[in-house]
Amino acid sequence: MPEDLPRAGPAVTARPLYQQVHDHLLGRIVAGEWLPGDYLPSEQRLAASLGVALGTVRRALDELVQAGVVERRQGRGTAVLRHSSDRARFRFFRLVGPDGARIVPTGRVLAARERAAR
């Protein structure tokens, strides 16, 4: 092997820019910069402050919406979601009522037996 050629090292993998923006925004949320119920800056402001295209910010926010971290609210913006045990437990249910509103399943105990003491 000629001396002037670089040796093979660990593979460097480049991450898409939208994933980098996703991680940056998630980090700011985790750090408490935006609390549950807070609205993030507009997509345009985020794009300008991060020096990326608007589409990059939108794709990063789409990933955060899919993960259940933020929610887009028509005419209001993007808000950090409050997390509850019900939201986590039923996040994969997509039940919709006749009026189009989302329905979250509920449960209740109908009967219970006491266990014998050991």
Query: What's residue 62's pLDDT?
Result: 95
Asked whether residue 12 is assigned to any structural domain, the reply reads: no
99 occurs within a structural domain: yes
Q: Could you tell me if residue 8 is inside a domain?
A: no
pLDDT along the chain (118 residues), means of 10: 52 83 95 94 96 97 93 94 65 72 74 74
DSSP code for 12: P
Residue type, 5: L
Please check whether residue 3 lies inside any domain of the structure. no
User: Has residue 2 been placed in a domain?
Assistant: no
SS (H, E, C) 21-71: HHHHHHHHHHCCCCCCCCECCCHHHHHHHHCCCHHHHHHHHHHHHHCCCEE
Residue type, 55: G
What was the pLDDT predicted at 1? 43
Residue 47 domain-assigned? Answer: yes
What pLDDT does 109 receive? 81
The confidence score (pLDDT) of residue 10 equals 59
**Residue 31 included in any domain:** yes
Structurally, the chain folds into a number of domains equal to 1
Look at residue 81 and tell me if it is in a domain: yes
The C-alpha atoms of residue 77 and residue 99 are separated, in whole angstroms, by 24
* Host domain of residue 36: 17-103
